[in-house]
Structure formats: structure tokens, C-alpha cells
């Protein structure tokens, strides 16, 4: 399964798929027939870019696009809120870890490091696609990381904190 949050996929790299779609298509060809999962109904701002991805991939007969169901997302947020993971919203990574745990028998995660420095003291950016700092209060990254570590300790998934 291949996924991306629409803002990073379109705004930062592919000019919202408004004009030149070729760089996006070339990149997507590398993923073969992977299933593409988009969060079209997660938030209002996700709808348009998610459907741009859908129609672009359909036009070029590439990957099949599926959308996360709003009811699933609502239940997922309630579940984690009951586990005291309270923030404005779950990170896209945390949402996808949950999807992976439902679809896969074995899940390993990388990149869930909620601190501004790596294990060697080197500075880290918040996102892989830009160097912008995190929006305060938007996500509860340390709490998400703690929950992932607890699942790791119970053998539910594997958390990798070193280099990929």
C-alpha cells in the first residue's frame, strides 16, 4: 500500500497536479501496481488533492486509488482518545500504522521519532518532505511514540529507531 498526505504530495512537489502531471506519473510508475490509499475524507482540504491523484492515476491506467472511510477515521480517533492520546488530530503516520495493523500480519515502523535530534544528536526535520517545524498542539507525537513503544513491547508491531 502506498499513501501520502495530499498536502505534501501535491503542494510541495507536483504543483497540485494542475498542469504538468508527468513528473508525478514518472514517480508513480516506480511503484508498479501498488494500492494507493488517500485520505480524501479526513479533512476538507484533503478532498480536492486526493481526487486529483485519483483522476490522474486513472487517466494513465496506473495504480488503483482507495479512500479511507470517514467512519473508520472517526472510530480510530475515538479509540485513541480513550487511550489518552489527545491532540487536535492523529498524525497521518499513526493513522497508517493502524491501517497496516488491520491489513498485515507483521508490521514494522520507521521514522516515528518525536524528538528534534536523532540518537547521534543530529538535528531532524519534522516532515520528510520539508524543513518546517511542527505546528504546536496539532499532533501528540511523543504520546504516539509512547503508544507505539508499548505495542512494540507487547509484540504487536516492531518499532525501528535507527536508520532504515
- As annotated, the active-site residues are 139
Long-range contacts: 40-48, Cβ < 8 Å, 24+? 40/6, 40/67, 40/68, 41/67, 41/68, 41/69, 41/70, 41/73, 42/68, 42/70, 42/73, 42/95, 43/89, 45/6, 45/7, 46/5, 46/6, 46/7, 48/6
Here the cell at position 13 is 512537489
Amino acid at each position: 500500500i502506498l499513501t501520502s498526505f495530499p498536502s505534501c504530495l501535491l503542494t510541495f512537489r507536483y504543483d497540485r497536479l494542475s498542469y504538468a502531471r508527468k513528473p508525478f506519473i514518472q514517480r508513480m510508475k516506480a511503484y508498479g501496481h501498488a494500492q494507493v490509499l488517500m485520505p480524501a475524507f479526513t479533512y476538507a482540504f484533503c478532498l480536492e488533492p486526493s481526487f486529483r491523484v485519483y483522476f490522474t492515476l486513472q487517466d494513465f491506467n496506473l495504480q488503483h486509488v482507495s479512500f479511507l472511510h470517514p467512519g473508520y477515521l472517526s472510530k480510530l480517533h475515538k479509540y485513541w482518545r480513550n487511550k489518552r492520546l489527545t491532540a487536535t488530530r492523529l498524525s497521518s503516520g499513526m493513522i497508517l500504522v493502524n491501517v497496516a495493523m488491520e491489513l498485515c500480519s507483521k508490521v514494522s515502523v520507521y521514522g516515528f521519532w518525536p524528538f528534534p535530534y536523532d540518537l547521534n544528536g543530529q538535528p531532524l526535520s519534522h516532515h520528510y518532505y520539508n524543513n518546517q517545524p511542527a505546528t504546536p498542539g496539532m499532533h501528540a507525537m511523543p504520546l504516539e511514540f509512547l503508544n507505539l513503544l508499548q505495542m512494540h513491547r507487547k509484540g504487536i508491531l516492531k518499532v525501528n529507531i535507527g536508520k532504515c
